[in-house]
Amino acid sequence: MEIENHIIKNIKFVNSPNFNERPENTKISLIVIHSISLPPNVYGNNYVEDFFMNKLIISDHDYFQEIQDMRVSSHLYIKRTGETIQFVPFNMRAWHAGESTYHGRANCNDFSIGIELEGTDHIPYTDCQYQVLAHIYRLLRQAYRIKNIVGHSDVAPGRKTDPGHSFLWSHFRAMI
């Protein structure tokens, strides 16, 4: 894998409409790990991609009515199989962290890269996801000189719980 023009080459790129410019002269310094499954606890479909593209068919599941007006995205989405999709170039601000703070700095979307893992707080992630995430982390760290990686729960405590207790930070840190 390599990054060219803020996009990882040789992976699927789907240009989400849910992004905007980062504030001028803002350096990327953080990676935020999330988890998502749509509908909740269901894997192996394309609903997350549809959600990030504002193309979710609301009638497909009752839960989708709750999220139908949300406009969100992440830079990357790593499925349980390890397949990775990029939705927003890294130099742009994806809408992933919402109201958030890291080390006294508000609006983490301004200075972070968001990576969604297909998963939930309580079901273990796959070895393949850890391997791909570790590889991508090393790639991003080199390209953008990123030093910190945290969970969504770390930047939005009390509001968010992902990636949850099922994400094995010690296992991931040993890989990087």
Mean pLDDT, 10 residues at a time, the chain of 176 residues = 96 98 96 98 97 97 97 98 98 97 97 98 97 98 95 96 96 95
157 touches 145 (CB < 8 A) = no
Active-site residue among 4, 49, 66, 116?
A: 116
Is 116 in the active site?
yes
Q: By three-state DSSP, how is residue 109 classified?
A: helix
| Rounded CA separation 117/166 (Å) | 12
